[in-house]
Each structure stands twice: as structure tokens, then as C-alpha cells.
Chain A
Amino acid sequence: MAEVDESSKPMFAGLSDVSISTDIPVEGEINVPVGTSSQDDEYSTLDEPVKDTILRDLTAVGKKFVHVMYPKKSSALLRDWDLWGPLLLCVTLALMLQGGSVDSKEDEGPQFAEVFVIIWFGSVIITLNSKLLGGTISFFQSLCVLGYCIMPLTVAMIVCRLVLLGGSGKVSFIIRLLVVTASFSWSTFASTAFLADSQPTNRKALVVYPVFLFYFVIGWMILTFSQST
């Protein structure tokens, strides 16, 4: 071992000139513990009260709802995507659209599973379509946008059910038609505002048309919803 030390000493002597030099920024090393402590603060969300955790997610979801109501190009929907809002909207819509009881022999309206599958499967297909056409948006960002933009149609569903409580004559049909048309165009316009920028200009219509078809079909399901007695 002694011989090894003696033979390696010259190497170490040479290295000692190179390794510890004044070029190494000492501030970086000083900063790292500070950085890790702030990261520790974020990771230690286990210690915060449950109310804070839930409220943080709820505010994020609520902020996104506001962005859909006033569709301006914002990065909140795209950058910090989440799928809570779409899930909430989809379940609400599917529960309200569920048609009639299971043991009835007639052809019923869409069941919960059918609406759920249409919304999620349709969103996945539209996202795949926009990615295949060369879009720069990511898969979950697109799902997030499409899901949040169902919100006007969910509001229209609630309004339609309230109108149907009043009666199901011609007047109520015209009111429902107007409400559904307005909300379907709002949905399409809102999602186009977020999605169209990710496509090259000569393919925008190719991406917008499936979104139009998707919301049109959902709007049709809402419009033809009839209360089973």
C-alpha cells in the first residue's frame, strides 16, 4: 500500500493544481442547500392541512372554468393541464343525460356508459387526429381543453332540464334549441381558440371540423333528451 501511495503522490500533486481552482463558483454550492430546502417545502405537502390541498386543486379547476367562460388565449389551460374538470363535467352530463329505467322495453336514450364512452373516446380520437396532422399540442393538454370546453353544454343541459320541468311543448322546444345552439357554438369557439394555434395555418379547418362534429353530437343528445314518465 505504501508503494501505491508513493507512486500516486505525483499524480495527486498534479491534480491538486487542477482540481481546486478559483473558477468553481462557490455560490452555486451555497445555493443548492437553499434550493433543496424550498423543494422540501413543496414536497412536504403531507404536513399541510387537508383543506389546503383540496382548495389548491379546486382553485386550479375553478380558474380553468373561468378561462373557458371567457376564451382568450391563456396558458393556464394548456400549461397546467388537469383532468379533474373534464371528469366532473363528463360525469354530471352523463348522469343528467341518462335515459329512463333499465327494464323498459323501448329503445331508450343514451345510458351513462354510452355518454361517458362517447365523450372520452371522442376526445381521444380528436386528440389523435390533431397530433397525426402535425399538431404541437400534447396529448393530455388537448384532452384537458376538450373536456373543459364541454362546460357550456353542461350548463345548457341543466337549463334544458329546468325548461322541461315547465312543460314539453313547442315553446320549450324552441327555447331549448336556442340554448343548445348557443352553448354548442360557444364550446366550439372556446376550444378552437385554444387548439387552433397549435396547427399550421393550412390545416386549421381539418382540426376544427372534428371538434365541431363532437360538440354537435353532444348538443344533439342534449336537445333530444326527453323525460321518461
Chain B
Amino acid sequence: MASNTDFLLQFTEFDEADRALEDSRDATTIRIEDTDTERHKPQKQRRSAPVMSFEEDPLANDDQTELLSGQKKSAPFWTFEYYQTFFDVETHQVKERILGSLLPWPGKNFVRLYIHNNPDLYGPFWICATLVFVIAICGNISDFLVYLGNPQYKYVPEFRKVTIAATAIYSYAWLVPLFLWGVLVWRNSKVINMVSYSFLEIVCVYGYCLAIYIPAVVLWIIPNEAVRWLSIAVALFLSGSVLVLTFWPAVRDDQPRVAIAIMVAIVVLHTLLAVGCKAYFFKTLEVEQTAPVGIQTNSSLSSLNRSTVLTR
């Protein structure tokens, strides 16, 4: 602890010098006080958690990130070994990561605690694949249950929906992290943040956060609107809070408007995915009594509007 207080003293000196420089030019300001206290808190928590000891300091962690990423991914990208480094996980690690994405804990950062500079592509890829098939299958089952009493209904397994679901889920899981990473890198060039994530870590977080939707989608089979919206709300709350808690340290040092805008965008996109999937793949009872079958498979947002207007 003595070394940490020396650290504090050193940085307060720098901070005064920085304030002096602030007026002269539009320089990037390094605000250290907040991150000092922040660094102490996760240190205490990490001492209680059974993690590797060298993970204590986020600042050193970033340096080590550079080192470790240089040591680990040293194979050229056209060899097979390069991609093997992204699958360097074991069963219990994958299980821990999935559980960590389901249970947000304020102060615990998913990336630092679970990913440990070892982002994997196994989790995101197979969770997305499972989600695609679960949405298609459960959508089919729920259609069947909605039409159960109807003698005119002829059951067709709508296979096209698998391709549509796959496109939607995979583009969300890969394009949104790409976009978010670009935004974070751009803000990083303007304001020096203490915490920065690599692209693969962001993909990892998004992939594991989609895991909560799998049981939620299974619950959507029940043709009860209240149950469906409740399961969406719970899933959104859990995974959305994990996302917010993960990315807040990365944007916290930025201007408040930009930080809030990024957070809101993350949550809104997550919500849109859930609600869009529910509206497109799962028919509601009220809508089916008023409109014939053929229209439903084409509209997505229009059916969403209709289903939200018609309430019991």
C-alpha cells in the first residue's frame, strides 16, 4: 500500500502541471484522481476473487495486453495456428464466462474478470449459432401452438426463417462490435482513456451477452404476451447491464454527452434486436385473429406496431 500512496502523490503533481497546460492549448487531459480510486476498488475485489495475481492493475494490464498479445498471436494470420489462439479455452472457462454474462455485478468488469486477455471466438460463434436455431425452432413451435385449434391451418416448417435469423444475429454480433470498436478508437484518439478494449474482446462480450436470450426465446413459446414481454424485460435488464458495466469504464473519461450517447446506443441496439426477433418470428394471438397468415411473414416493424396496439 505504501507504493500506491507514492503513486498518488506523483500523479497529483502531474495533474497540477496538466491544469497549467490546459489553458495554453487544447490538449488531452489525463484525469487521474477518479481512476486512482477506481483502481483501488477493483484491486480489493480482485484480492478476494480467485484470479491470477498479475491482473491487479488495469494500467499495467494494458501494457501487459500489448506484451501478451504480441507473445500469443505471433503466428502470421494466414496460418492455422493463428486462429487456434482464439480457441484456447477450456470447458470450465466457457461455463464461467456464460455465467458471468448472466449476472451483472457493479464494479466487476466482465472483460477483466473473465476474459483475462484471452478472448475466444468459440463462445460468440456457437452461442450465436444456438440462438439462430432456437429462434427458428421456437418460432415454429409457437406458430403451431397458436394455430392449434384451427382446422384450416396447414403446418409448414418455414425454413427460410433460419437464414433470416442467421443473418440478423450474426450481423448484430459482429457488425455492432466493429462499429463500437471504431467509435472507441476514435474517441481514444481524442481523450486518453485508461481502459481500452481490443476488437476481439468486444466481440467476446457481445457474444456471451447474447447467451441470456436463449432461455428467453424458449419462454416465448408460451403464447401469452405478458410472459413474453416479461422474459424480454428480464433478459434485457441482465445482459444490458453487463454491457453497460463493461463499457462504462471505457467511455467514462470522455465528454458526458458523448459517453451517454454511446451507452444509450448500446442499450437501444440490444433492445431492438430482442424486440425485432420477437415481432418477426413469433406471431401474437390477437394479430392472427384479425389478419390472414400470408401478410405476417412479410412485415416486421408493421406487425410490431400492430401487436403493441392490440392489447388484451
Contacts and interface: CB of A to CB of B under 8 A. Distances in A.
A and B are partners in one complex rather than unrelated chains: yes
Interface of A: 99, 106-111, 114, 129, 131-134, 202-206, 209-210, 213, 216-217, 220-221, 224-226
Interface string B114-156: 0000000010001001100100010010000000000000111
A111 to B, nearest CB: 8
B168 to A, nearest CB: 17
A99 B157 contact: yes
Contacts of A205: 91
User: Chain A binding site: helix, strand, loop or mixed by DSSP?
Assistant: helix
Given A109-B159, A221-B157, A213 B129 contact: yes
5 contacts: A99-B159, A109-B159, A206-B122, A221-B157, A224-B157
B156 A206 contact: no
A206 B155 CA distance: 35
Contacts of A203: 89-91
A205 B130 CA distance: 15
Contacts of B86: 132
Contacts of A132: 80, 83-84, 86-87, 122
A131 B157 CA distance: 33
B158 interface: yes
A213 B130 contact: yes
A206 B160 contact: no
B159 A204 contact: no
B25 interface: no
Nearest to B293: A106
B94 A106 contact: no
B257 interface: no
Contacts of B87: 129, 132-134
Interface residues of B, number: 26
B288 to A, nearest CB: 16
Nearest to B123: A206
Contacts of B297: 107
A36 B158 CA distance: 60
A220 B158 contact: no
Given A202-B91, A204-B91, A217-B133, A133 B122 contact: yes
Interface in B204-224: none
Contacts of A216: 133
Contacts of B160: 107
What are the 8 closest A-B residue pairs judged by CB atoms, nearest first?
Answer: A224-B157, A132-B87, A107-B158, A202-B90, A205-B91, A110-B159, A109-B157, A133-B87
A225 B122 contact: no
Contact of B159 (A108, A131, A209, A213): A108
A134 B86 CA distance: 11
Interface string B66-99: 0000000000000010011011011110100000
Interface in B153-212: 154-161
B140 to A, nearest CB: 7
A205 B122 CA distance: 12
Nearest to A104: B156
B126 A209 contact: yes
A113 to B, nearest CB: 11
Contact of A220 (B89, B137, B154): B137
Nearest to A225: B157
